[in-house]
Structure 1
């Protein structure tokens, strides 16, 4: 609660003093982008366009040596969405995912809706504070004829793992025209996985030829990790697989039963 109040204290006076927002909280793209105040070089896009129903990725890069706190705010209703790795919204579609070395704090919005269009602010608590505005432009969903040109095929298979072990999931993406890694979301039972738990999850990728292999490593798996895992991305086929964790005790009992039967057969000869 203290953290949330601290961030709102920084953000609200800045917006209400310098900007005009209508009664519905709407703002033009130009007004949104005019908010920017930064002391460092900006590499992320200021305008993100995505079709309804697809995930949106809003990037916020911070200086290499910075350990500053990063917060994402939706200007339409002044809602604090995330602060650091924590979420402050009940909308499960929103997730923050710090990329390599936490230099790029990506606000992920799954299954975007037309109502998600608007201005989003990334604030870095530098001195003075750094503000990065990103305008999200949600376009109407593609018509069925357009979707048919690049069908989204779902692949699913069963993966059985031993309790207490490490589960490794792979997601392979072919990139015939570019080798730049794209943003993907790892989900479990259609819910975004909280990758900020570094002791439990570790995500990475590697480039082999014209293929990018994304990996998700899950440590110390248990029956609570049972479910359907999938990797999803903009304009990518959804790849999924079911995971079932076998309890150690049941495996040992089965092995002991086979061993007992084998010894009994030997002695009965």
Structure 2
């Protein structure tokens, strides 16, 4: 073996030692910088487990649906304002229309009123999901089914029922009352079939409003929230006889006739009441007509 061959073999052994050292260093550095087992790293990188597909995520969050329950019933009294709600989630570019079902009359499209009856109006605030139908000065004929429709493909709808009631006053007791002079006259008026508390209740004695006639011994107290109004006269006199009418601002009035008698028979007093006089007049006219026919 010559000198050149020996030199090459020594250089080859030196290179091999350098390569083995570098490989050993790299393996040691990798082990020191990764304390977690390889199985944990594999699970952390499993994206299918951690994150659902984007299509499923959008389908569950952006689906259009009605938040107002179908067949909701709204009750309103004559003369008041009715509000029919229609809340729609994720409406997108859909357009809301209101339709009166009994005659399929188109009332509103978006915020535009298509009906010639301007009592109907769609109420919607910007960025709101509520498209409420407002009906002012409700009438008995407004009762029925209303459709809230969204122009999607295919169109989707819910239906709401509007019930209309007529509020009325009601005076407790019989329609006629009999008292002796000096007795206490107490009348209680309640407002029934009402969806709104009355703003005021006026009492009339014949044609005179008496809510503030304290000097005449008349006291009127009204509780609008309870829909009640009381009229009290501690010592009634003959001047307090006559017709009393309870008149709420938002209901049909009610009346009662009060007799004040002094030692007379109440049954005899009844013969002078307006109802009895009217009945006798009808009887008299019937008798006259019958006699003329028999002739």
TM-score (norm 1): 0.39
Determine which structure has more spread, i.e. the larger CA radius of gyration. 2
Structure of higher RCO (CA pairs closer than 8 Å, 6+ residues apart):
1
